[in-house]
Amino acid sequence: MLVAVDIGNTNIHLGLFDQDSRCLINHFRVSASDTHLKDLSVDPSILQEASDCVLASVNPRAENAFCNWLHPRWKGRLLRVPVDVPVSIPILVRNPDKIGTDRLLNALAAFQRTAAATIVIDAGTAVTIDAVSEKGEFIGGVIAPGLETLKEALHLRTAFLPRVSVQRPRRVLGRDTNEAIKSGLYWGMVGLVEKITKKLLEEQVNTPTVLATGGDAELLANEIQIIDEIVPHLTLEGILTAYCRHFNSKDV
């Protein structure tokens, strides 16, 4: 068994994988703003089944909170991506060391699934839309604000606009302020993701498979027909793939 931990800007995801079958046995999620991780109710016996814990983070504060939570519960080896476990994917962009680990892990896991040119949409705090070549190379992408980020920005940068829950509105035309905000956020994000993805598809020589992941992937995918598949735990799968490749595990 392997414990994979994806620490993002909004949430911390913890997955328990069977390395032989590559199956996700169990999954836990907690808010990255929970500094004591009170809501991360993982049975200690689950952790004891694992050989290693592999952690990837884009959020140093939440990473520190997680490590404080993990320390009394974990006696095994804690490995970090990419310091201890490199992401073995060619990176064909300027300043490759500046590319977020989560984007590279998504690309690695996507190519592991498709073995073909792929576009990965990660709809989270930020929306990233990245391209992987038919040779499994990370060739670049697009970064935009996510739904929750846009919602907060709209509330904080205006005097009277309220926070709203983001969901698919019943109609585009808003009959009050809340409906108007919901419509603008939802349909604006659908339009952004769909238009950018279509433009990226036009630039590729081969026709890529389009995968979507992240907290808002399912919300958006119903309206974006060019998405071929939703993969909820793609980043965790990337951690597993990076670990297996680094330690020359079988089945990889």
Q: At 143, which amino acid appears?
A: I
Say whether 97 is catalytic: no
CB within 8 Å of 79: residues ≥ 6 apart? 52, 53, 54, 55, 85, 243
Q: What is d(CA 11, CA 148) in angstroms, rounded to the nearest whole number?
A: 12
Catalytic-role residue among 6, 102, 122, 130: 102
- In whole angstroms, how far apart are CA 167 and each of 73, 164, 184, 192, 214? 38, 9, 11, 16, 15
Residue with tokens 């476990």: 85
Among residues 142, 124, 78, which one has the least CA distance to residue 234? Answer: 124
Rounded Cα distance between 113 and 17, Å, is 16
Residues catalogued as catalytic: 102
